[in-house]
Structure 1
Amino acid sequence: MATLSLLVFEDVNIGVPWGHICGRWYGNRVERPILAIHGWMDNLGAFEQLIPLLPDYLGVLCIDLPGHGRSSRLPAGMHYSVYDYVFIIPRVMREFGWPKVSLMGHSLGGVMSFMYAAMAPKSVDMIISLDVLLPRKIGDPGKLGQDIEKCLEEEQRQADGNQHEPHAYTLNHLRQVLARSSNNSIPQDMAHHMLRRQVTKSQMYPEKLFFSRDGRVKFYQLFDIEEGLAAEMARRIQKKPYLIIKGALSPFVGPRCQETISILSKDNPNFEFYDIQGAGHHVHLHAAKECARYIVPFIRAHRPPSAWNYCSKL
């Protein structure tokens, strides 16, 4: 079976009112691809371990969400939220004229996929969700207030310019920071997949680097989907092909997801759920082969090779 190559891609820039969304389109450029959306504080590099394991007859468009990777930040005075991120999906669809979208999302990207599939079920034909289903529950409301204050402080720091850069680190230290902040879900030896698109050379300390993603994304606002709403959203998705892959060591698909999973899977032969033993939250990064074992047949079942693909190989 031929697979995609990390070396065969086209960088794309999608214009938006505040700038652009950067993406990287692997493989087939003639047919509608799978839209791959990374998680919070990550970027499209998170899919680099998985891409070379996917079948080459279908393209995959990986994007950097606003404020992440190489995509534009939201303007000053605007703030990031899960609900607003969902608008990125139809923006990309309109850019390329897609009547439907096939979604593959990790963490925040998986939450976006669930929300959009529930809001516009006729526009989605397939969902692959990597170690997530619902957003994590909002705990302490006081934490939200603290995040608002920190976001305003970060906005002021950015307005002050380079004299107040973020903390700068050596490259080796950045790997350690990324591993530690992800609870080693991003191993140090795989940190380069993420760092390539989210670090900038410091002007104050030329031998060091700092994270170039928008510092405000650290304080983005969650969209708390309580159990009753989650159940109704799942019913709207109905019997769509839905694959959930969970890292066994991760808490992100927990007990509060059980009712939603029950609804999605009821009388749905196209629903699949797998638990990857020994894997953490970035399951598609450090356990890519195990994920591909389930993702590849799922893609082949629900986005099989087209007649165009067959003819192009004759």
Structure 2
Amino acid sequence: MGTLSLNDCKEVRIPAPWGHISGRWYGNRRDRPILAIHGWLDNLGTFDRLIPLLPDYIGILCIDLPGHGRSSHLPPGMHYSIYEFVYIIPRVMHEYGWKKVSLLGHSLGGIISFFYAGLAPHTVDMVISLDILLSNPLRDAELSIKKVAQAMEKHLIEEDRRDEASLHEPPSYTLSELCKALAEGSMNSVTPELAKHLLYRQVTKSELYPDRFYFSRDGRIKFYHTIHTERGLAAELARRIGRKPYLIIKGSKSPYVGVECEEPMSILGQNNPHFEFYEVPGGTHHVHLHAAEECARYIVPFIQHHRPPVLTSWSLTGKDLEPSSKEENRSCYSKL
């Protein structure tokens, strides 16, 4: 058995009432894959450095959340929230007829995975969470109210901006400028050198200026409504998840797996030989991008233990089965 290739993938479009959910299905397309969900303002390109390190007998279906990457934006007048994002998991399951789901999530994708696993634990067989478990609570009630009010106002401003953009092309920039902007927006969790993995799915080439691009993701996602999980709710969700295989990888320089996670993590690990937690030294929030090899050291054996090879999906001689279509196997990993 070898490792997955970024060139061995199939572009998918999962229908939704508002349009479609875009994705890429890497590797094995005969068996149920692992469903990979990216973080806030990112897209499926966030897994580009991790995918080639994972075992090739498994399939990985990476999706762009609504408003992100190449997925459809929600209709005008609608508001993004974590509630809508959680519903994406059963929608994908329904599309492919899955009874169970294996989840790999980073940041927002990890929060979505935690909530879904707590809501429907009977449908989840394992979770891999990258530098997150749940959203950090805002302990100051006044500050919390102020932030929600500001987001509401900015959301309305963004809708007006969308109307304007439908008449005129948005401001465009060079790829170098966009890489720097993305790095700054991530607090340098994504370096300018790594930004290319995210940019190719969230920018559009300018029709007015050669060699310039503009962001094509939905600006309203910057003001989505998250869930600041109360301790009691987080604990109950963790109890409902029970003894499911659960892997959490934290970047040592990241603040996202802090004291608020101690109780639910303790519950997840209680009498649970399938719970694992590791910290990657020097890792920032996008630990799977800049420290992909270190993350794979923990992810690969976890996958092999909880999603071992199915004899029908690989050969005893070590040779992979031929894909059903050579056309599917041609490179779908095109850069700008």
One-letter identity of the residue aligned with 1:15: P
Deviations 1:88-114 (A, max 9, x none): 000000000000000000000000000
Matched with 2:239 is 235
TM-score with structure 2 setting the length: 0.91
**Structure 2: how far apart are the matches of 1:88 and 1:176?**
31
CA drift at 1:202: 3.1
CA drift at 1:164: 5.3
CA drift at 1:162: 4.1
CA drift at 1:184: 1.2
**Structure 1: how far apart are the matches of 2:165 and 2:246?**
45
**Structure 1: how far apart are the matches of 2:171 and 2:114?**
35
One-letter identity of the residue aligned with 2:220: R
Which residue among 245, 251, 255 is the counterpart of 2:255? 251
One-letter identity of the residue aligned with 2:50: L
Matched with 2:123 is 123
Check if 1:291 corresponds to 2:295: yes
Matched with 1:304 is 308
**How has the CA–CA distance of structure 1 residues 156 and 206 changed in structure 2, closer, same or farther, with 3 Å as cutoff?**
farther
Q: CA RMSD in A?
A: 1.4
Which residue among 167, 189, 201 is the counterpart of 2:193? 189
Check if 1:69 corresponds to 2:38: no
Q: Is the 8 A contact 1:198 1:212 kept in 2?
A: yes
One-letter identity of the residue aligned with 2:180: Q
State the secondary structure of the residue aligned to 1:103.
Answer: strand
**Structure 2: how far apart are the matches of 1:245 and 1:284?**
9
Which residue among 252, 274, 280 is the counterpart of 1:276? 280
Deviations 1:215-274 (A, max 9, x none): 000000011210111001100000000000000000000001000100000000000000
Check if 1:9 corresponds to 2:9: yes
Check if 1:92 corresponds to 2:96: no
CA drift at 1:136: 2.3
Q: Is the 8 A contact 1:137 1:224 kept in 2?
A: yes
Q: Is the 8 A contact 2:135 2:227 kept in 1?
A: yes
Q: Among all aligned residue pairs of Structure 1 and Structure 2, give the percentage whose two residues are the same amino acid.
A: 61
**Structure 2: how far apart are the matches of 1:296 and 1:259?**
27
Which residue among 270, 277, 281 is the counterpart of 1:266? 270
Check if 1:159 corresponds to 2:163: yes
**Structure 1: how far apart are the matches of 2:306 and 2:166?**
49
State the secondary structure of the residue aligned to 2:296.
Answer: helix
One-letter identity of the residue aligned with 2:187: N
Deviations 1:264-294 (A, max 9, x none): 0000000000000011000110000000000
State the secondary structure of the residue aligned to 1:135.
Answer: coil
**How has the CA–CA distance of structure 1 residues 166 and 137 changed in structure 2, closer, same or farther, with 3 Å as cutoff?**
farther
**How has the CA–CA distance of structure 1 residues 8 and 207 changed in structure 2, closer, same or farther, with 3 Å as cutoff?**
closer
**Structure 1: how far apart are the matches of 2:25 and 2:147?**
38
Matched with 2:228 is 224
Gap runs ≥5 in structure 1? none
How many equivalent pairs are there? 314
**Structure 2: how far apart are the matches of 1:259 and 1:64?**
31
CA drift at 1:161: 3.3
One-letter identity of the residue aligned with 1:136: N
